[in-house]
């Protein structure tokens, strides 16, 4: 079983637990508001990658109910929860590495915490595919976890010790260079402390980039 399969099985197993813990996205409201405000089109088509239980979807639709959102995830149980939480949105099983298989252009792409399960190479390909899949002036929202040391990526236990998955940490400067290399302009960058249940803190990176 590869790293992706392990992560998918974990998220599929603990989908409801994840929903109960992470349905509120208060820490990310400001960045999500900026994402929404950069898209002038009222009935914009938005692609969401690794949508989970539809927590980001729900907030974005509260702010911009006219958005037509297609949410995608690899965990079937997450897709079912997302459908229940967001009856006005569409959802389907899809790997975030397969954006171009949709053969469609979007006004915005949301990628909330998919990068912790993608290598640097896979993240770079995702940025290239996202650029291809966006209309001119289309906007990309990214959130992930930062770690400045190269050796921090690896198999990590969940806070309760029940699950163990491979987590990739990404450096801000590398992500920004990769986005710019793939043609994006950076509109917003922010580091957000995230307090873990065990009392430690992780640092989340929030980036919004736009295709010229």
> Would the pLDDT of 163 be above 80?
no
pLDDT score of 155: 73
pLDDT score of 113: 96
Q: How many folded domains does the chain comprise? A: 1
Q: Please tell me the number of Cα atoms within 13 Å of 111 on its side-chain side.
A: 27
CA 29 to chain centre: 14
pLDDT score of 87: 98
pLDDT score of 157: 61
Q: What is the mean predicted confidence (pLDDT) over 96-103? A: 98
Q: How confident is the model at residue 150 (pLDDT cuts 50, 70, 90)?
A: low
More confident position, 80 or 8: 80
Give the whole-number percent of the chain exceeding pLDDT 70: 92
Alpha helices for 71-153 (secondary structure H): 76-85, 120-133
pLDDT score of 199: 63
Q: What mean pLDDT is reported for the chain?
A: 92
Q: What is the CATH number of the domain that holds 136?
A: 3.40.50.150
Q: Note down the domain range covering 199.
A: 3-210
Q: What is the pLDDT of residues 111-123, one digit of tens each?
A: 999 999 999 999 9
pLDDT score of 152: 79
Name 96's Cβ contacts closer than 8 Å, sequence gap at least 6.
49, 50, 72, 74, 111, 114, 118, 126
pLDDT score of 149: 64
């Amino acid at each position: 079983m590869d790293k992706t399969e392990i992560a998918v099985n974990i998220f599929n197993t603990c989908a409801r637990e994840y929903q109960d813990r992470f349905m509120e996205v208060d820490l990310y409201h400001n960045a999500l508001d900026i994402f929404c405000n950069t898209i002038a089109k009222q009935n914009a088509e938005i692609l969401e990658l690794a949508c989970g239980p539809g927590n980001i979807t729900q907030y974005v639709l509260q702010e911009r109910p006219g958005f037509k959102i297609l949410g995608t995830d690899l965990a079937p149980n997450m897709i079912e929860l997302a459908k229940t939480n967001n009856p006005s949105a569409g959802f389907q099983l899809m790997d975030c590495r397969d954006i171009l298989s949709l053969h469609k252009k979007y006004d915005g792409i949301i990628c909330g915490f998919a990068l912790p399960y993608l290598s640097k190479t896979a993240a770079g390909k995702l940025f290239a595919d996202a650029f291809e899949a966006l209309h001119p002036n289309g906007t990309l929202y990214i959130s992930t976890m930062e770690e400045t040391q190269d050796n921090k990526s690896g198999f990590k236990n969940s806070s309760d010790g029940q699950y163990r998955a491979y987590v990739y940490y990404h450096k801000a400067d590398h992500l920004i260079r990769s986005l710019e290399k793939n043609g994006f302009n950076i509109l917003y960058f922010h580091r957000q402390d995230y307090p873990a249940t065990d009392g430690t803190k992780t640092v989340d990176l929030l980036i919004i980039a736009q295709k010229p």
